[in-house]
Amino acid sequence: MPVNPNFLERLVLLRLNKGPAPMLDLFGAASFESVSLALDLGLFELVADAETPLTASTLADRIDAHPDGIAMLCNFLVTEDYLSTSEDGYRLTKMTETWLLADSETNMGPWLTFWNELVFPFWERELETAIREGEPSQSIYEWFDEEPERWEIAQDGFRATASLLVDDVVDAVSIPDGSTQLIDIGGGHGLYTVELCRRHSDIVATIFDVQGAIEAINDEIPAELAERVSVQTGDYHTDDLGDGFDLALLFNVIHAHDPAENTALFERVADSLAPNGRIIVLDQWEGSGRTPVSRAGLRFVALTYLTTLGATVYAHEEVMSWLREAGFTDVSRQSVGPLSGLALIEATKQ
């Protein structure tokens, strides 16, 4: 967690501007590097599995590292609130237990690893190009294609964020009576589809994604759903999506494309739907950041989409108008969960 300045520090650094507040970003960058390394070394899991606090020298033995190095890493992680320390050694804080342990239902470790191993290296290479030219020299998905392991890291990261939202999102999705055929376009890890199928025993689903993504997730569909969830590889801009679907999910896909591409994609989705079929679009929406953290989060993803995909976040009104242009009716917005600030856009094929 970024260091939380005390009252005096907030006054000097943030209110009075009498000290260099950008230093906090420097600490944040070092903190991200240190947490990423700790995840990579399995340090948090070692501390979690121990019955008593672990000293730096015990940790160093188990990790095969230098005791001074581990002590310095852990001491920094204490200041960033990932570890606590006492005379007996280091323990995990509640924050680390909740958000960074593999057996936690809210484990965000794979999301941090995705950023550390893929997105920030890509930023480093492409940020300036994207700012100067308006797009990167290649999309991050094209870069993933060069190394299949990148797709695995990416899908693990996407799954980690989806696992935080899946219950609220699936609660918000309305399933009209008689809807049985679902396509999850750009569905990747398939978590949303899996949860919808668990809750609605008559749904049969297809996860449609590019080959690299499908190869990365293929064996992760739960065995009990193997008969009802299939995968299909292809490019949703050009390849046949199939037809007769009652529901089409388009979750976290449209931020990768420009308005004309999105309208064309909506038209293709309309063609794949049965009469009265529904499209459900989930994404981050321009203008939805109402607090400092959510505003920063939105600007952060917008800059990321520019750097990695040459695209952006869109206002929901704009997306609703593309849906109408593509021939959809009953276009509506539906909030997701009480606190997330997320919303779905749903529409019906005429």
Ligand X SMILES: C[S@@+](CC[C@H](N)C(=O)[O-])C[C@H]1O[C@@H](n2cnc3c(N)ncnc32)[C@H](O)[C@@H]1O
Nearer to ligand X (CB atom), residue 140 or residue 331: 140
188 makes contact with ligand X (CB under 6 A): yes
140 makes contact with ligand X (CB under 6 A): no
Q: What is the largest CA-CA distance in the chain?
A: 69
213 makes contact with ligand X (CB under 6 A): yes
Crossing angle of helices 259-272 and 316-325, rounded to 10°: 50
Chosen residue from 43, 47, 162, 248 binding ligand X by CB under 6 A: 162
Nearer to ligand X (CB atom), residue 116 or residue 284: 284
311 makes contact with ligand X (CB under 6 A): no
Give min distance, CB of 118 to ligand X, in A: 12
Give min distance, CB of 159 to ligand X, in A: 7
The answer to whether the Cα torsion of 209, 249, 195, 300 is positive or negative is positive
Name 348's Cβ contacts closer than 8 Å, sequence gap at least 6: 276, 277, 278, 328, 329, 330
157 makes contact with ligand X (CB under 6 A): no
Instruction: Using DSSP bridges, classify how beta strands 245-251 and 181-185 pair: parallel, antiparallel or unpaired.
Output: parallel
The neighbour count for residue 68, using CB atoms within 10 Å, is 11
- Tokens matching residue 159: 């799954």
Residues forming a β-bridge with 91: 84
Chosen residue from 209, 228, 314, 344 binding ligand X by CB under 6 A: 209
101 makes contact with ligand X (CB under 6 A): no
Give min distance, CB of 327 to ligand X, in A: 21
251 makes contact with ligand X (CB under 6 A): yes
Give min distance, CB of 251 to ligand X, in A: 3
Q: How many residues bind ligand X (CB under 6 A)?
A: 16
Q: Pick the closest to residue 323 from 276, 274, 265, 272 (CA basis).
A: 265
| C-alpha–C-alpha distance, residues 272 and 267, integer Å | 9
For 266-302, give one letter per residue: b (16+ CB within 10 A) or e: bebbbebbeeebbbbbbbbbbebbeeeeeeeebeebb
**Options 9-17, 91-99, 232-240, 267-275: segment touching ligand X (CB under 6 A):** 232-240
245 makes contact with ligand X (CB under 6 A): no
Residues forming a β-bridge with 89: 86
Chosen residue from 90, 122, 236, 328 binding ligand X by CB under 6 A: 236
Chosen residue from 158, 245, 314, 322 binding ligand X by CB under 6 A: 158
Binding site for ligand X (CB under 6 A): 141, 158, 162, 186-188, 209-210, 213, 235-237, 251-253, 256
